[in-house]
Chains A and B, each alone.
Chain A
Amino acid sequence: MITHNREKQTFILENNSVRAVLCYQNGLRMQEFSNLHSGRVSNTDRELLTFTFMGGQYTSADLSVCGAYAAQDNTREMATVLLENRDLQLSMRLHLISDKKDTVTVLLQVKDLYREKVPYELFIHSPFLAAMQMTGAGDKYYYPAGAVQNREGKQLLKLAKESFMNSDIKPPLVVTDAEDQYGFSVRFPSLADLSDDGAVQNRNMSLSTIASAEELHEHSLPINPDATYADTIELEITGLTDGWPEAFRRYRAQWEAPYDFREYDKPDLKWFSEKFLHNFTFLYGTEGFDPVKKKIDVEKLLAEGDEFGGFDTVTVWNQYPRLGIDRRSQWQFFDDFPGGRPAIRQAVEEFHRHGVQVFMPYIPWDAGSHESTDSLGDEFAKLLADTDADGYQLDTLSAIPESFREKCNAVRPGLVMTTQSHPTKKRPMEIITTSWDEFWATRPMPQVDILRYLLPRHIAPVISRWYRKEDKDLLIQYSQFSAVPMVIWQDIFGRWMPFCAEQRQTIKGWKAVYMAHRLTYQCADPIPFWPTRADDVYCNRFAADDGSETIYSFYNDTDSDYTGPLCRADGASCEIILGSGEADIQNGLLSGRLPARTVVHVRVQ
């Protein structure tokens, strides 16, 4: 429903979840922005925007209203206010758009006619956004770039690493009441591919970098208007009834909506999801190579794996850092490997007899100027045909040409691509179905990788590269807390950095638990940081798609045992399946005892 009161110069938009009241009598003031489910009136009498331009500071009252109208179609209702400041040669359009369901979008568009014939800096701040709240007392905030922080203020929800390319993963700002029930999710839609802040007007990607209350309160966005009305700032605000879990689920649905996940649905590629322990072996070491017989030592490597519970895949690495001493390419390295490609094939076949799949390395930076995308793709596919290996570890490659995938498909079904870091853009994410979870730091526990929860079908094992004993302990906990498989990499390009006997035993036990509940851990609806009833106790929730069980993964981030209520949970019985402690469930509340600084998995049925 939309109401335009011309006398009071007010718009009222109301849908199933949100009520927004905007007054344009003297500038732009949000008189109310409420979550109707909560029964509360929230966010009253807020200035919508202020700005700094050509040395002056202004509020929306410094703009003259030169028009206001309401409009609607089958799916939307819209209130629009036109504003201008002729001295500044600046115009703005403010739209409130209701989806007639549960969301109201605040969209600001800015036009700058370049009063001095050149573009000047323009910074915008929204007091309405800065003061967004649910109840005003005890509200919980999940910031876009720092949704969950520990008591030292360290971020625990890890986002994709960004460079010049903008990541597609931009979680919303979420504010809820103290019970994590009613609240708002504020999404900042952006299709800007580059993080270059001069290239586009749309500055929502900057809002997505807000990681703290201070950054929210003091945000000042450098926008880049020109002589057209382009989207500048967009706040897509949804009313919540189930707090953070609902906000996360909504965001996941929005994020994945444009994706084509057919590659993930291919039956022949699903074998990777059935694996837990991935080995990476450096063939210049004796871990997986017999220097006397000059051959890959399958039996020895797999015997090593047995101490961890059994390697499910191996990556045989024979190139970097050896490449470059002479002109031999990565493809020639396979020819010059003792026995050549037939010997590698023999080893692959031996691994296969043990049920172990094999990845070959691909080094994207080795491609020489004499090689084309086409010739590289031919070599790429031919190696898998020659060796019967099961896929590629793509090293630093974050995207592969479509033709590589197509040429591999022609070799045989079942060839899996995995890469060193998560792909962050849409198409690479669609065709590279697995990657390593490598963020180069284990601290602090309990961090989680957002991609593991956004796209749970993209299985991304965690890896240890230069980790020493203490970090390896944390890595195992990290693997347990988010229920992610592991890469066991002990020979780091010539430096031997093994796991100790106790760690091997722990991984062995964890693998058994994971495999027994694999489908639950790989469920379609995992929720990171499920709300808990205790400070410093964190939880991830994995609910089996068939409803048979739910596993709550807890981490007590204190130096002493915690005993008391844990979180809300549906079920009649519970048991601890990983770690130690006690658990009980009554009236939808899970309680128990969690030892200090350990991961405990509680299964609820």
Chain B
Amino acid sequence: MANYLEQKLVKVPRASYIYRVVHRVMEGDCQCEHGPIPVTVGPLQADVYPVTNHMYWLFMQESGYRPADDTNFLKHWVDGKYLEGDADKPVTNIDQNDARAYAAHYGKRLPKDFEWQYLAAGPDALKWPWGDKLDLSKGNFYTDALSRVDAYPQGVSPVGCMDMCGNSWEMVEDTHDDGCHFFTLLRGGCYYRAHHYWHAEGGPQPNDAHLKMHLLAPGMDRNATVGFRCVKDCDGEEL
């Protein structure tokens, strides 16, 4: 039996920092808090890796989870399972509720936007998980396909999270309702960059950037480039 990557948790002690998000603004900027505001993160435990196809498959075996609307749900899988070479790549083609179901099954949740930023930037508010300068050797950037989530250990963040930049976008817990729209935020960028300036900008995204993603329905909300990771609340003693 093949060895598949297992999820690990890193401990994140309680910490405060000044949360501020800056990003390219096209039309339809995101109506939510961008700081700067003081926030407190943790104590919590965070997934070292984005959830992989294999991890998600295990979850489905254990829980029997099936979404009510399965349009585009895991559409890259064949006959109910991922292709063998994709086992340790981030699971994609899932929406926020699919991700939440996974997290809840393991007593976890998705990180909030300000938490995700801390997991990537650490106490020194790094611009990129590995430091303050863009380094294209640190992740899966501008390529043709997703990579394993452990393919770029040199891109590890200060708190010990892997694969936080490029490869796959990560959903956060936040769902914003401004009274007439629902949207969530994506973090970290992805390997894929669409070909035109007017497209949503892919490629590696700095730690203090997010991308607004309008929510419509599961079929639209499931993307081939968007995955997630989880965090687990805990008290200080568990750390």
A residues in contact (CB < 8 Å) with B: 283-287, 289, 291, 294, 318, 320-328, 333, 336-338, 363, 365-366, 368-369, 491-496
Contacts and interface: CB of A to CB of B under 8 A. Distances in A.
Given A284-B216, A336-B220, A492-B28, A324 B180 contact: no
A366 B199 contact: yes
Contact of B200 (A286, A321, A338, A368): A321
A79 to B, nearest CB: 55
A496 B202 CA distance: 26
A326 B220 contact: no
Contacts of B192: 326-327
12 contacts: A283-B216, A284-B182, A324-B201, A327-B194, A327-B224, A327-B225, A336-B72, A336-B220, A337-B220, A365-B196, A365-B199, A492-B28
A209 to B, nearest CB: 29
A324 B226 CA distance: 12
Contacts of B179: 496
Contacts, number: 105
Contact of B196 (A283, A291, A366): A366
A291 B182 contact: yes
B223 A321 contact: no
A366 B194 CA distance: 9
Given A327-B192, A493-B27, A496-B178, A336 B219 contact: yes
Given A325-B226, A336-B71, A337-B219, A495 B199 contact: no
A337 B202 CA distance: 22
A591 B226 CA distance: 68
B213 A320 contact: no
Interface string B185-226: 010000010111111111000000001111111011001111
Interface of B: 26-31, 69, 71-72, 169, 178-183, 186, 192, 194-202, 211-217, 219-220, 223-226
Nearest to B183: A494
B98 to A, nearest CB: 16
Contact of A285 (B27, B180, B211): B180
Nearest to A491: B180
A494 B214 contact: yes
Given A291-B182, A325-B211, A495 B31 contact: yes
A325 B169 contact: yes
Given A495-B31, A496-B180, A284 B215 contact: yes
Nearest to A323: B199
Nearest to B211: A325
Given A333-B220, A336-B219, A369-B195, A322 B180 contact: no
Contact of B214 (A287, A322, A326, A336): A322
A321 B194 contact: no
Contacts of B169: 325
Given A284-B181, A323-B194, A324-B194, A289 B216 contact: yes
A326 B196 contact: no
A494 B71 contact: no
Contacts of B29: 494-495
